[in-house]
């Protein structure tokens, strides 16, 4: 795949994705500012660490280390 | 007749005007009706609004406790603070936690070891600067315990596009881990592991009550992640070992040789995550779906659902459900057998989290905003409780485990 086609594909994907999004004026974004609408994880640090140990398919975080109590 | 008609018309108009005047007086707020005469000129400037806080400082603490039916207990106190200047667009975050682990799990019992206790310290800090549509952040994380040290540095950039309807994210993190053995100098024994993590993502503003995101994570691990305490039982060819066989039975069946775990020295991991949040005031519906695959042939799916609801202006609560299922790595065996020539299998593990399993979590969260009436969220108390049942589909010691984690949080705006 050439560089131009990668740029074109990226631009096309962005254009399509932005077209799928509604125009929302700043004064209409009150509901989006609610704390529960964050795209961050809502679990606490303890829960995050337990998941990293219990689910072998971790990824997207580098919080796992030792201290897992798992031999 | 004409006079009387004119008189009745005038009376009707007068009645309409009178009714309208009364109605206007009733619609007007009492302060306008009964307000004293204006003393200041009409063109006097309105008083300025109270100045917004230039810097927002928040501190929080969390005390989490974990226990499971495999006799593992963990207590994790955490303190954190953030300093935000919303006008200038910068944020500083810092966090410190301690893990106090006490374990007498079946893995420890099977090696005739005593209860194991350990303390882990983790410190992290990050800074973010996003004055306008372009932002950057950088962070560092250090995790230390007597026989394990992990240091991670990360950097990411974000860019808002199309009037903030789309936000792109790109990030990179490098982690370096050193595993040792308690009581042995690092110079005499250590195993090192490097991790390169790349993150690409986008957040989409779907409509005025819905936001969604897609994130691709790629992690390349290089080094030896094998646990230096984890011994793997080896059996003679043809030995039948039942799923969930207790340590005593395994001890009778296994050969005397018991090598340490040995994992592959490279691992490439890929995860694609999608998240959507939809606000139906006073309820928010949040759903996550994540699919995962790696070069050890593990495949997994994780689904997470939360529905926090504002019960009142001060109270928020909601359920949490999670389901995880995974396929084993390609070198997984319930019972490893001695190879011809009395060789051990080159790759072997006793980590049941690398085997086939599924887990289901149910729980919920509770937030109580106890700050002053005009700003109740300046002081928040929180409680999260989750119970997880895990089914191990092909493990020698355990067939299932039930675990619970509770976390009490306190958040204060200073």
State residue B144's pLDDT score.
92
Most confident of A14-18, B21-25, B275-279: B275-279
Per-residue pLDDT tens digits for B350-384: 999 999 999 999 999 999 999 998 889 899 999 99
Enumerate the β-bridge partners of residue B218: B198, B270
Contact A66 B148 (CB under 8 A): yes
- Best of B381, B405, B408, B409 to mutate (most A CBs within 10 Å, chain A): B405
Quote the mean pLDDT of chain B.
Answer: 87
What span, in angstroms and rounded, lies between the C-alpha atoms of B105 and B130?
Answer: 47
Nearest by CB to residue A28, choosing from B208, B324, B350, is B208
The CA-based angle B311-B312-B313, given to 5 degrees, is 140
ipTM over 0.90: no
Tally C-beta pairs within 8 A across A and B.
Answer: 196
In chain A, what is the straight-line distance between the N-terminal and C-terminal CA atoms, in Å?
A: 47
pLDDT at B28 over 50: no
Instruction: Give the pair of three-digit tokens for residue B188.
Output: 């005499």
pLDDT at A3 over 80: no
Q: Band of the pLDDT at A9, cuts 50, 70, 90?
A: confident
Contact B78 A45 (CB under 8 A): yes
Q: Which residue has the higher pLDDT, B41 or B398?
A: B398
- Best of A16, A30, A36 to mutate (most B CBs within 10 Å, chain B): A36
The total of other beta-carbon atoms located within 10 Å of residue B136's CB is 14
The total of other beta-carbon atoms located within 10 Å of residue B327's CB is 18
Query: Across residues A23-52, what is the average pLDDT?
Result: 84
State residue B39's pLDDT score.
46
State residue B5's pLDDT score.
52
Q: Band of the pLDDT at B81, cuts 50, 70, 90?
A: very high
Residues 6+ apart with CB under 8 A from B9: none
pLDDT at B43 over 70: no
Contact A62 B141 (CB under 8 A): yes
Residues 6+ apart with CB under 8 A from B299: A57, B291, B292, B293, B326, B327
What span, in angstroms and rounded, lies between the C-alpha atoms of B339 and B337?
Answer: 6
- Best of B109, B123, B124, B204 to mutate (most A CBs within 10 Å, chain A): B204
**Is residue A67 within 8 angstroms of chain B, CB to CB?**
yes
State residue B218's pLDDT score.
95
Chain B residues close to A39, C-beta within 8 Å: 203, 211, 213, 275, 277
pTM, full prediction:
0.82
Residues 6+ apart with CB under 8 A from B338: B234, B235, B236, B237, B255, B257, B344
pLDDT at A43 over 90: no
Nearest by CB to residue B101, choosing from A20, A44, A67, is A67
Contact A46 B405 (CB under 8 A): yes
Q: Which residue has the higher pLDDT, B169 or A18?
A: B169
Closest-CA residue to B336 (of B398, B400, B394):
B394
pLDDT at B275 over 90: yes
């Amino acid at each position: 795949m050439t560089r131009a086609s990668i740029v074109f594909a990226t631009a096309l994907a962005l254009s399509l994705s932005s077209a799928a999004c509604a125009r929302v004026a700043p004064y209409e974004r009150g509901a989006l500012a609610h704390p529960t609408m964050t795209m961050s994880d809502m679990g606490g640090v303890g829960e995050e660490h337990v998941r990293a140990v219990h689910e072998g398919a971790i990824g997207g975080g580098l919080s796992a280390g030792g201290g897992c109590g798992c031999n | 007749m004409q006079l009387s008609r004119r008189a009745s018309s005038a009376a009707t108009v007068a009645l309409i005007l009178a009714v309208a005047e009364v109605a206007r007086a009733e619609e007007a707020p009492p302060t306008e009706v009964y307000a004293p005469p204006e003393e200041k000129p009409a063109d006097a400037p309105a008083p300025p609004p109270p100045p917004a806080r230039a810097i927002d400082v928040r501190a929080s603490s969390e005390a989490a406790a974990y226990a499971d039916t495999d006799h593992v207990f963990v207590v994790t106190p955490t303190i954190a603070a953030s300093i935000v200047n919303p006008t200038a667009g910068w944020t500083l975050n810092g966090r410190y936690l301690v893990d106090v682990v006490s374990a007498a799990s079946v893995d420890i019992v099977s090696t005739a070891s005593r209860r194991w206790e350990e303390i882990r310290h983790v410190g992290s800090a990050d800074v973010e600067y996003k004055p306008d549509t372009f932002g950057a952040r950088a962070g560092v994380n250090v995790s230390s315990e007597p026989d394990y040290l992990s240091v991670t540095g990360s950097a990411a950039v974000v860019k808002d596009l199309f009037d903030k309807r789309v936000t792109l994210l790109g990030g990179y993190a490098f982690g370096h881990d050193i595993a040792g053995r308690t009581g042995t100098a690092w110079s005499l024994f250590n195993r090192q592991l490097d991790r390169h993590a790349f993150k690409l993502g986008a957040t989409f503003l779907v409509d005025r009550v819905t936001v969604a995101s897609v994130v691709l994570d790629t992690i390349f691990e290089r080094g030896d992640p094998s646990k230096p305490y984890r011994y793997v039982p080896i059996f003679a060819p043809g030995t039948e070992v039942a799923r969930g066989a207790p340590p005593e039975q395994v001890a009778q069946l296994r050969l005397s040789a018991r090598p340490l775990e040995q994992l592959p020295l490279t691992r490439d991991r890929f995860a694609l995550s999608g998240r959507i949040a939809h606000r139906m005031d006073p309820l928010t519906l949040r759903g996550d779906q994540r699919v995962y695959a790696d070069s050890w042939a593990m495949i997994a799916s994780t689904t997470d659902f939360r529905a926090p609801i504002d019960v009142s202006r001060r109270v928020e609560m909601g359920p949490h459900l999670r389901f995880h299922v995974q396929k084993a790595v390609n070198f997984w065996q319930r019972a490893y057998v001695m190879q011809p020539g009395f060789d051990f299998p080159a790759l072997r593990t006793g980590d049941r989290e690398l085997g086939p399993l599924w887990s289901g979590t149910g729980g919920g969260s509770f937030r109580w905003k106890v700050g002053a009436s005009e700003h109740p969220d300046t002081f928040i108390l929180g409680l999260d409780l989750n119970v997880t049942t895990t089914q191990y589909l092909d493990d020698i010691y355990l067939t299932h485990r039930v675990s619970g984690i509770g976390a009490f949080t306190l958040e204060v705006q200073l």
